[in-house]
Amino acid sequence: MKKIIFLIAVILFVTYAKDEKSIVKFVGAIEHVKKGGKLKATIYLDSISAKANLFALGPVENLQGELLVLDGESYVSEVDNQRLNQVKTSYAVGAPFLVYCNVKNWQAFSLESDINNLAGLQNEIQNLARSNGLDLQTAFPFKISGLIDKAKYHVIWKDLKVKEHSPEIHKKSKVFYPITEERTDILGFYSQNHAGIFTHHDSFIHAHIINADRSKMGHLDQIDMKAGAVSVYLPVLD
C-alpha cells in the first residue's frame, strides 16, 4: 500500500513539473472516483474565490449530476424522477474532482473541417493550438460556440442506495441524452499529461456541453458539426 501511495505521489509530482506554467488547475482525479470510489467532494465551488472569468467542469459529489462553469456562471445538471434532464444555477455544490481555470481573453477561430466524433474534435483542437503557438505539452482550456448538427451527452446519476462503487457501476450510472440542431456552448480541457486525472485514458480532451437556453447539459460523448457553423476559442495567454 505504501508503495502504491508513493508511486501516485511521484506521478502527480512529475505531472505538475511538466505543467507548472499551465493556467489549468485541478483537484481530485477521475481514477479516484471510478476505481477508488472516492465520491465525496474534494472541493466546493463556493470556496473558489476567483469567480471572475472562471471556467470549470466535473461531476457532482456522490455522482449526483454534472457541473459546468462558464465565465463565472455555474450550472448543475441533474436527472429527475422521470429520467429527464434538469439544469439549475448554483455555486452551493461540491465535486469529487474538478478541472478549472480563469481566462479573461479568448481568440476566436472558424471551424475549418466537418467534425463527426470526439477524435476529430481533438485533432482540430490540436492543430489550431499548434498553429497558434500553444504548447501541446501544457494543459489548456478551449471553447466552442455555434450551431451543431447533433450531439450525445450524459449525466452521471448514481443510485444512492448502492453504497459500493466500481468502473461497472460508474458506467451504468450514466444517463444519456441527445441534442439535435441546436446552438450550444462547449467547454473543454486539453492535456497530454493528465490521463486518469481530468481526461480519460483514451483521449486528450474532456468536455461538457450546454444548449443555448440552458435546459440541457452534461459530459460530451459524441459530436457532429459542420465547418463554418461554429467558432472555436483558445485562451490568450499573457
Query: Per-residue pLDDT tens for 170-217?
Result: 999 999 999 999 999 999 999 999 999 999 999 999 999 999 999 999
Q: Give a yes or no: residue 65 inside a domain.
A: yes
Q: Tell me which of 83, 101, 119 is where a domain ends.
A: 101
Cα torsion angle, 95, 152, 145, 29, sign:
positive
Number of domains in the chain: 2
Summarised one tens digit per residue, pLDDT across range 93-117 is 999 999 999 999 999 999 889 999 9
Whether 95 and 195 map to the same domain: the answer is no
Contact 187, 143 (CB under 8 A): yes
Instruction: Tell me: pLDDT of 168 over 80.
Output: yes
Task: Name the pLDDT band for 21 (thresholds 50, 70, 90).
Answer: confident
Q: Which residue stretches of the chain are H helix?
A: 2-18, 30-34, 118-131, 167-172
Q: Give a yes or no: residue 24 inside a domain.
A: yes
Whether 73 and 133 map to the same domain: the answer is no
Q: Which of 78, 67, 91, 111 is nearest to 206 (CA)?
A: 67
Structure confidence at residue 7 (pLDDT): 41
Structure confidence at residue 19 (pLDDT): 59
Structure confidence at residue 64 (pLDDT): 98
Q: Which cell goes with 137?
A: 505539452
How large a percentage of the chain has pLDDT more than 90? Answer: 88
Contact 188, 149 (CB under 8 A): no
Instruction: Tell me: pLDDT of 86 over 80.
Output: yes
Contact 138, 204 (CB under 8 A): no
Structure confidence at residue 60 (pLDDT): 98
Q: Please give the distance of CA 77 from its chain centroid, rounded to a whole number.
A: 13
